[in-house]
């Protein structure tokens, strides 16, 4: 496996794991929001984060596929994935 494929697999695995954790947390919050009103206030931010990482997982999964199969569009897929990673970092980097 090429080093770029390994990095792509790491991004895909990390984004998938984070997406799974955020989705599970969202489900728990939805179940408990009637008993704990403060959870309802957190749901929009949690759902947005869940969608961000699901999107990153989908993009990096497609990029990993293109890289492993050596498709002609793997360069575009790599560019898209790394721009997405940069956008996620920029979005979640603490401003201070």
Angle at 56 between CA 12 and CA 27, to 5 degrees: 100
State yes or no: pLDDT of 37 exceeds 90.
no
Give the residue-averaged pLDDT of 9-35: 95
pLDDT higher than 80, residue 96: no
Domain ranges of the chain: 3-90
Instruction: Return the percentage of the chain with pLDDT > 90, whole number.
Output: 85
CB 53 within 8 A of CB 19: yes
Is 18 in contact with 55 (CB distance < 8 Å)? no
Gyration radius of the chain over CA positions: 16
Give the per-residue pLDDT at 32: 92
* Tokens linked to 3: 């080093």
Cβ neighbours of residue 67 closer than 8 Å, sequence gap 6 or more? 2, 4, 5, 8, 74, 77, 78
Weakest mean pLDDT among 6-15, 22-31, 32-41, 61-70: 32-41
Dump pLDDT digits (tens) for 39-88. 888 999 999 999 999 999 999 999 999 999 999 999 999 999 999 999 99
> What's CA 18's distance to the chain center, in Å?
7
């Amino acid at each position: 496996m090429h080093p770029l494929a390994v990095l792509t697999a790491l991004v895909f695995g990390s984004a998938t794991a984070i997406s799974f954790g955020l989705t599970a947390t969202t489900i728990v919050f939805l179940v408990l929001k009637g008993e704990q009103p403060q959870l309802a206030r957190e749901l929009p931010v949690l759902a947005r984060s869940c969608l961000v990482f699901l999107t990153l997982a989908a993009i990096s999964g497609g990029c990993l596929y293109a890289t492993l199969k050596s498709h002609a569009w793997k360069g575009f897929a790599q560019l898209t994935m790394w721009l997405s990673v940069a956008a996620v970092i920029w979005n979640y980097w603490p401003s201070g």
